[in-house]
Structure 1
């Protein structure tokens, strides 16, 4: 059985990716916590690129080298049209450090996004979630797959599910936000679900 390391510290991502990989036969899926790998400042320094694909590959390479196992890493974020595609790859730490101090990062990021969009009319609040999922094998083989999901940014959060910007990201065709959808439905329609399913197809095909 091949060990597959899910290379993320985000508990929401770990949960979602583990659920999607559950049916993948022939692989022992483990997280960084399962392996007892302590968090290191070097990990953040790895994600220094301007595209989701480059960041995901860099992180997958880092943990493949560190663990000696096949590593799956993703980089994802929300791209808002009215902000010229921001926050994009800076989604995780969109709020300035002083804004986030003493608060959960997700809450600070969401508040910052709403402040920037305060004067943007509803019809211009279009956005998309993007996820690049990368695989890196210890021998040097690499692959990356990308998924997207279109929606709009609401003026106030709705729902308590998901994480990150999910309570603000409304999908008109679903009639709700990612924060309101069930975990199963989110995995079916989300950017990460689409990227991870493409990775599963790749792994299933050898």
Structure 2
């Protein structure tokens, strides 16, 4: 089936990393996964306020509904984050905005967040550095919505390692491994990550609500 005949789904993210990862995970489905830029949707200030809730699921659904309203297309959105045992589950839904603004201005968001996390865990022993990544994926169209989740457990390393991935990947060592996601081959993250798990669980909704109802094959 030609690409133009594939039903479109809007992936509600401005992150090129995330859009590329989701496209790879769903590459075998006969759909077109589009980002806001592909539709010419300008970025609005109100997008900064789409994640006011205290759970990943509610934040993901908030984003999906917002971008569905703007585009008229079925929308897929995720909210994900790092939950560290020694921080009482933090940064959690504050994962992206964890570091103080002055540090973000100085080092950029990812490096500032990683530095801030290591500072907060200074002196914390290996047995208390347990953590997990959690991802909620929300899907919505005119009538229905669904939220699915994925979790990967691991621990926070004492120092960053590797240059792959993004976010906290240089610090997160997944269970069963002794290297960070940023050090491991990309295929390992694709197979085990929280987002990969959640996106796989979203396939049923896409097949049922998008392909079946919109004539995809």
User: Could you state the TM-score of these two structures normalised by the residue count of structure 1?
Assistant: 0.95
Runs of 4+ in structure 1 displaced over 6 angstroms?
none
- 1:181 Cα deviation after fit: 2.1
- 1:29 Cα deviation after fit: 1.3
* 1:106 equivalenced with 2:110 (yes/no): yes
Q: Match of 2:46, SS?
A: helix
* 1:148 equivalenced with 2:138 (yes/no): no
Q: How does 1:31-180 map to 2 (within 5 A)?
A: 31-137=35-141, 139-180=142-183
- 1:103 Cα deviation after fit: 2.2
Q: Deviations over 1:59-91 (max 9, x none)?
A: 000000000001100000000000000000000
* 1:4 equivalenced with 2:19 (yes/no): no
Matched-pair contact (CA < 8 Å) for 2:153–2:175: no
Q: Hey, what does 1:184 align to over in structure 2? A: 187
- 1:193 Cα deviation after fit: 0.3
CA distance in 2, matches of 1:33, 1:180: 30
- 1:31 Cα deviation after fit: 1.1
CA distance in 2, matches of 1:181, 1:33: 30
- 1:49 Cα deviation after fit: 0.4
CA distance in 2, matches of 1:195, 1:35: 25
CA distance in 1, matches of 2:92, 2:48: 16
Unaligned runs of 5+ in 1: none
Q: How many residues align?
A: 204
Q: For the aligned residues, what is the CA RMSD?
A: 1.1
CA distance in 1, matches of 2:82, 2:160: 15
Computing the radius of gyration from Cα coordinates, the structure with the larger value is 2
* 1:13 equivalenced with 2:37 (yes/no): no
